[in-house]
Amino acid sequence: MNINLRTDAPRHNLALMKISSYHKALGDRVFLNGAGEFGITYGSWLFDFSPKYFCDVEGGPGIDASIRLDEAIEFLRPDYDLFGLDFSLGYTWRYCPRNCEFCIVPEQKNKRDHKSIWDFHDPRFKKICLLNNNTFSDPLWYATFEEIWEQDLVVIDENGYDLRLMTDDKAHALKCTSFEGYIHYAWDQMCDEAAILRGLAVAPKGIVYVLVGFDTTPEEDLHRLQKIHDAGHDPYVMPYGKTKYGRALKRFVDSRMYRKFKSMGDAWGEWK
């Protein structure tokens, strides 16, 4: 039987990769975003605003974040050939203790289940991409790093690490790990300032996502940007909604022109 897998994901889609493994094991032929007649068409959508095509079965955050794969499929190793990946991809810990209003993760109702990297890691690869929503909230977080170190893997960091949970031991683990590109963190709300600053003080240098336009003022945004810069990290603005202010602040920070000024406020004033 011919199987079609549709998605709006630009790089990879873990659910479809597992569905592909399932059907290939049955001897089916699998196509990605194919055209024509198919026995079954699956759709997995990341964005609610992307165009949707007819599918016999569909899910994903763009449809309903709580939809889960059948267990017969969920625990299969992904088909890395579907997207031509040269790295492993998966979760060792899906759960996140935060209930941020701007985030879709709480809608997923993820369980507190720790997994080994060997549930999804392909030994052909020397790189691994962890999709974990909050690695440091996992009581067995160190076991994940040990498995990575034992295989001398390079980590692709997509979601970042919670600065509010940062300790000397966790910072040391990050320093002992090889990453492709920068390590990522986040500072979303002003109420977390004290914990964030403690984390920034010990965390290895990285990129800090800064949510703007949700519940902070422009003055608070500049304050967070300054503190991140002073701590030796690089901020990365994440606008909430499509506002002129959010887009302008992002362009300003991406330019890194603030490094030539005494303060972030002075630089922003010159930019405007």
pLDDT in tens, the chain (272 residues): 999 999 988 899 999 999 999 999 999 999 999 988 999 999 998 887 777 777 888 888 888 778 888 888 999 999 999 999 999 999 999 999 898 888 888 788 888 999 999 999 999 999 999 999 999 999 999 999 999 999 999 999 878 899 999 999 999 999 999 999 999 999 999 999 999 999 999 999 999 999 999 999 999 999 999 999 999 999 999 999 889 999 999 999 999 999 999 999 999 999 98
Torsion sign across C-alpha atoms 248, 253, 258, 262? positive
At 196, give phi and psi (nearest 5°).
Answer: -65, -45
Residues 5, 67, single domain; the answer is: yes
What is the spatial distance between Cα 187 and Cα 265, in angstroms, rounded to a whole number? 18
Task: Examine residue 170 and state whether it is found in any structural domain, yes or no.
Answer: no
Residue with tokens 């010159």: 270
What is the identity of the amino acid at 201? A
Task: Examine residue 177 and state whether it is found in any structural domain, yes or no.
Answer: no
What is the identity of the amino acid at 49? F
Nearest to 213, CA basis, from 236, 252, 246, 251: 246
pTM listed for this prediction = 0.89
Contact 243, 250 (CB under 8 A): no
Task: Examine residue 155 and state whether it is found in any structural domain, yes or no.
Answer: yes
Task: Examine residue 171 and state whether it is found in any structural domain, yes or no.
Answer: no
| Residue 30 lies in domain | 1-78
Task: Examine residue 173 and state whether it is found in any structural domain, yes or no.
Answer: no
In the chain, how many domains are there?
Answer: 3
Task: Examine residue 164 and state whether it is found in any structural domain, yes or no.
Answer: no
